[in-house]
Chain A
């Protein structure tokens, strides 16, 4: 098998044994990337940087100083600022922007010896669930329905990351998750994605969407790889005042495969109308797998689940409207061409109308409205109160002894690109129904591929963990992964 199809753990072991060099491993990914342009996953390729980093990694490995991520070729979501490399959050308003600094997450990965192959497609400013709001055009899933040529979404917002990992263009990728943007694309493409506890990973240098919800995490081929890569991404950063100054445990060492006696909660509110029976059946199989592994399965209630989506779609746009106020055509990115007599207000208004896409404009305006005088209490403050209740729901079940919660990851398999074009914006928001509670409560959540639907598309389940307990969460995910035995790969058409 060509090296670009390897897992991080297999590549790490082969690199350390001298069975492959980081340069050869990187070359095999660069070749796959050039052959994968139809997926539109990599939107800025950085082969020179990659090969320089790979050569440095080989030197470190030869010297016997090789952390786990040393020499591992990665794709980086376009939301991460990477020094001297275009970083435009898939938006025209940041066209041409090349940061003068490096995000904390990419710095940490590079310090650990990782190799950057390029920047990955995404929804504009991470606002979307299908990668269809990108200024670069759609990312395309490597998966297709049986006997069909219809192009499918890889999910969003980390759609390029999901497509690239699923199609073996890289060993793993970074993602970010504000309402499900790591877990939903991971589930749509049959890979693993974890959103860590809020504060586990530094947000510094990641283009902000909704600062109280945003969190970066790895998107990988296996749970073990997620553990290895999260280890390198996590940790306190003085530059992010919300990053937690607490020790990061050894995540890979936690993958014992033993969950006997652990309590897995099954929330009744996640049985929703309109969810296909295949998803219900998958969930039931997942429950059986946890029980077979010796866990105690317990029915639980999270009574405010229904209100998570409307609360999210108040809070996230409110924070976005504030965060995105910085794009004014003055300090970086796009500025509209002005006509005689235009003042500074016209410059702002024209710049933002030209630079932001339709969905981003909509969310900024929703956020502006819910924060405006007279509506702040009715919408924004009420949503923050509901958010407190959603968090309390989780605290209650954890206090009752639940170790992790098992739910579906998405309400459907991947849909076709363009299929939602005429839908109401709210229809698209429903994609986040199972994932968004986790962001509101600041908890860690992981999507694990568990099966295929009747059309041959991947379906995933989600495990939700206690705050700061990614180690136990990953161990539960590891058990689910081993028992599900998901090995399907997309048929190569690109």
Chain B
């Protein structure tokens, strides 16, 4: 399926990646190429096949729901680009 410029713009928006208008045609072309390559999958008869959810047949382990750590606020915030008064700081979200 060919990706047009509007679809490319929409995908970039969904992915939260700014793409300049001038770069959209090239992006649309590349995405079309990649998706075209995936079209081969339509040749496969997948009737009655369940989509794979786990590559190794194992049950996920369960663990006790208990607190195992905490009191590491400084460590949690250490790599934040903007941390203030014990919080992650971001631009205003609600007016």
Residues of chain A whose beta carbon lies under 8 Å from any beta carbon of chain B: 96-100, 197-199, 212, 238, 241-242, 244-245, 304, 306-307, 309-311, 313-314, 321, 325, 328-335, 338, 342-350, 352-353, 356, 361-362, 364-366, 368-370, 372, 379, 381-389, 391, 424-426, 429, 440-442, 467
Contacts and interface: CB of A to CB of B under 8 A. Distances in A.
Given A100-B75, A245-B61, A329-B81, A304 B44 contact: yes
B49 to A, nearest CB: 4
B38 to A, nearest CB: 5
A424 B37 CA distance: 11
Given A330-B80, A349-B17, A353-B19, A313 B34 contact: yes
B35 A366 contact: yes
B82 interface: yes
B70 interface: no
Nearest to A443: B55
A435 to B, nearest CB: 15
6 contacts: A242-B60, A330-B88, A331-B79, A364-B15, A384-B51, A441-B55
Interface string B14-47: 1111110000000100110111011111111010
Contacts, number: 170
A157 to B, nearest CB: 18
Nearest to A382: B41
A402 to B, nearest CB: 19
B88 A331 contact: yes
Contact of A310 (B15, B31, B38, B79): B38
B49 A389 contact: yes
Interface residues of B, number: 52
Given A335-B82, A352-B18, A314 B41 contact: yes
A388 B15 contact: no
Contacts of B43: 307
B91 interface: yes
Q: Would you call the interface of chain A mostly helix, strand, loop, or mixed?
A: helix
Contacts of B90: 330, 344, 347
A385 B27 CA distance: 28
Given A364-B15, A385-B46, A425-B34, 13 more contacts: A100-B76, A244-B58, A307-B40, A310-B38, A313-B38, A330-B80, A365-B31, A368-B11, A382-B46, A384-B52, A387-B52, A425-B33, A467-B56
Nearest to A375: B1
B66 interface: no
B2 to A, nearest CB: 12
Given A97-B79, A238-B63, A391-B52, A310 B37 contact: yes
Nearest to B61: A241
B16 A332 contact: no
Contacts of B5: none
Query: Which of the listed residues B34, B41, B76 has the most CB atoms from chain A within 10 Å of its own CB?
Result: B34
A351 to B, nearest CB: 9
